[in-house]
């Protein structure tokens, strides 16, 4: 069985790493096809280095662009590689433009598609990711659902049960495999002169939050208010999209510590020692839940409802008062919830299923 692993962005690299690690154990004839959607060192190469991933055999170097432009370039590039390599299966992860284009190119060539992290839905079609997820699931032959809830969603959309496999989320594997390494090998807390439990961690990068000036301004105002009210440093590793939009909108948060995006081990350390996390990231909502850190999500919906159900997360939206109020609420929360995303063996399960073990 020849497998093409397609990835293109930071979260895909991190979440595909446990699958690649399994394939590396001599279990499969595979190659990595990087779309080049992310290309800055701190969004891309740093993760290959730190997670000790083999280099991609192909990099399409599509770079940034409008949705149509980027998706189309990936589609064209992936098709060429797949025609040349003729794999039996293509693996895609998540909900980015790389995910969708990879799935579509493969399906049109009648190559089987396996979707890692299938069945997530925010039910908000204004999010580009929601369109990508739905279409990627439609193109897939193996749907690796992280939870029973995701499986139920897929069944509800008419996808046949024999294509759906509940494996857990590979982010649990990634956290378990790297947390101890992170604790032993990096010291970003000291470098930033922080105290464990003495700061909040922030990430905000979703298009619908940061490309809309009033909404981004409102979130930053809420975060400024949180920093003032609770008298803690708020550490914000700024995604390049957010950096660009802050400059374009001339937004200058007063009380946030803006830093460059952090490598995975450093970020895991920052997350695990934070008193609280405020985010709009999908992966960070999951990691907060896995690490036992309360999370305030700066969105009106989430495709990770499991985190709301276990009580690790709350949806605060973008209004400053609500952000402040929900921060207070989550600070009073006991962090004794159970991680709903699996036991850290998703990568192995996925490879077993593919190999028919
Ligand atoms: C993409 C995904 C999003 C995911 C995020 C992970 C889509 C539709 N969106 O959003 O789901 O949460 O990745 O981080 O696929 N840029 C750089 N360097 C890079 C990449 C991007 O500077 O390596 C800047 C460019 O100005 C670019 C902007 O960031 O225009 C946005 O990049 P893009 O790939 O379009 O989307 P993300 O916001 O990264
Ligand atoms: N992450 C990281 N450094 C950072 C911010 C995030 O390594 O500075 C990791 C984080 O641990 C998580 C992933 O990036 O695994 C989440 O990616 P992102 O928020 O970009 O995308 P999303 O999950 O929202 O699609």
Ligand 2 centroid to Cα of residue 95, in Å, is 13
Residue bearing the CA closest to ligand 1, atom 29:
241
Residue among 265, 267, 268, 291 whose CB has most ligand 2 atoms within 8 A, to mutate: 267
Q: What band does 184 get if pLDDT is binned at 50, 70 and 90? A: confident
Whether 186 has a pLDDT exceeding 80, the answer reads no
Residue 193 corresponds to which tokens in the numbers above?
Answer: 């002169």
272 close to 186: Cβ distance less than 8 angstroms: no
Closest C-alpha among 76, 66, 131 to residue 101: 76
pLDDT at 113: 98
Q: What is the DSSP string of 93-126?
A: ETTSHHHHHHHHHHHHTT-EEEEET-S---S-TT
* CA of 270, nearest ligand number: 2
* CA of 47, nearest ligand number: 2
Task: Please provide residue 33's backbone torsions phi and psi, each rounded to the nearest 5 degrees.
Answer: -115, 110
Whether 27 has a pLDDT exceeding 90, the answer reads no
Residue among 59, 241, 242 whose CB has most ligand 1 atoms within 8 A, to mutate: 241
Ligand 1 centroid to Cα of residue 96, in Å, is 9
Closest C-alpha among 18, 114, 29 to residue 345: 18
Residue 317 corresponds to which tokens in the numbers above?
Answer: 């939206």
Residues lining ligand 1, judged by CB closer than 6 Å? 9-11, 37-40, 43-44, 64, 95-97, 128-129, 205, 239-241, 244
The pLDDT mean for the chain works out to 97
pLDDT digits (tens, 9 = 90+) for 248-305: 999 999 999 999 999 999 999 999 999 999 999 999 999 999 999 999 999 999 999 9
pLDDT digits (tens, 9 = 90+) for 112-168: 999 999 999 999 999 999 999 999 999 999 999 999 999 999 999 999 999 999 999
The CB density around residue 196, as the number of other CB atoms within 10 Å, is 11
Is 205 assigned a catalytic role?
Answer: yes
147-162 exposure pattern, b = at least 16 Cβ within 10 A, e = fewer: bebbbebbeeeebeee
CA dihedral 182, 275, 42, 181 (to 10 degrees): 0
Rounded to an integer, the average pLDDT of 59-82 is 98
28 close to 1: Cβ distance less than 8 angstroms: yes
Give the angle subtended at the CA of 68 by the CAs of 64 and 73, to the nearest 5°. 65
Judged on CB neighbours under 10 Å (0-12, 13-18, 19+), 4 is buried
DSSP E strands: which ranges in the chain?
2-7, 29-34, 58-59, 89-93, 112-116, 142-145, 164-166, 200-203, 234-237, 256-259, 276-279, 295-297, 313-315
The CB density around residue 215, as the number of other CB atoms within 10 Å, is 17
Residue among 10, 12, 37 whose CB has most ligand 1 atoms within 8 A, to mutate: 37
- Ligand 2, residue 171: give the atom nearest the CA: 15
For the chain, helix (H) and strand (E) counts, in that order, are 16, 13
pLDDT at 180: 87
Distance CA 207, CA 302 (A): 14
Ligand 2 lined by 47 (C-beta under 6 Å): no
Ligand 2 lined by 38 (C-beta under 6 Å): no
Ligand 1 centroid to Cα of residue 294, in Å, is 26
Rounded to an integer, the average pLDDT of 210-224 is 98
227 close to 235: Cβ distance less than 8 angstroms: no
What percent of the chain lies above the pLDDT cut of 90?
A: 96
């Amino acid at each position: 069985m020849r497998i093409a692993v397609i990835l293109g962005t930071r979260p895909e690299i991190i979440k595909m790493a446990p699958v690649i690690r399994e394939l590396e154990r001599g279990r499969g004839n595979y190659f990595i096809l990087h779309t080049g959607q992310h290309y800055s060192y701190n969004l891309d190469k740093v993760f290959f280095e730190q997670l000790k991933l083999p280099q991609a055999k192909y990099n399409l170097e599509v770079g940034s662009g409008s949705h149509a432009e980027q998706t189309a370039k990936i589609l064209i590039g992936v098709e060429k590689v797949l025609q040349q390599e003729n794999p039996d299966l293509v693996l895609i992860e998540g909900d980015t433009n790389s995910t969708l284009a990879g799935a579509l190119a493969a399906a049109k060539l009648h190559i089987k598609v396996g979707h890692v992290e299938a069945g997530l839905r925010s039910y908000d079609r204004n999010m580009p990711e929601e369109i990508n997820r739905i279409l990627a699931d439609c193109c897939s032959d193996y749907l690796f659902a992280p939870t029973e809830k995701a499986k139920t969603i897929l069944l509800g959309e008419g996808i046949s049960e024999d294509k759906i496999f509940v494996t857990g989320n590979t982010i649990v594997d990634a956290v378990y495999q790297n947390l101890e390494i992170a604790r032993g090998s990096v010291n970003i807390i000291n470098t930033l002169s922080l105290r464990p439990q003495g700061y909040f961690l922030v990430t905000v990068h979703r298009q619908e939050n940061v490309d809309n000036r009033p909404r981004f301004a409102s979130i930053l105002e809420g975060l400024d208010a949180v920093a003032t009210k609770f008298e803690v440093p708020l550490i914000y590793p700024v995604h390049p999209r957010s950096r660009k939009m802050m400059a374009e909108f001339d937004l200058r948060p007063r009380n946030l510590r803006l830093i460059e995006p952090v490598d995975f081990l450093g970020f895991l350390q920052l997350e695990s020692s934070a008193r609280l996390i405020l985010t709009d990231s999908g992966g960070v909502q999951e990691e907060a839940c896995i690490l036992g850190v309360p999370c305030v999500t700066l969105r009106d919906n989430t495709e990770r409802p499991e985190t709301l159900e276990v009580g690790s997360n709350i949806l605060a939206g973008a209004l400053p008062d609500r952000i402040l109020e929900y921060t207070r609420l989550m600070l009073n929360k006991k962090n004794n919830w159970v991680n709903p995303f699996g036991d850290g063996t998703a990568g192995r399960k996925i490879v077993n299923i593919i190999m028919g073990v």
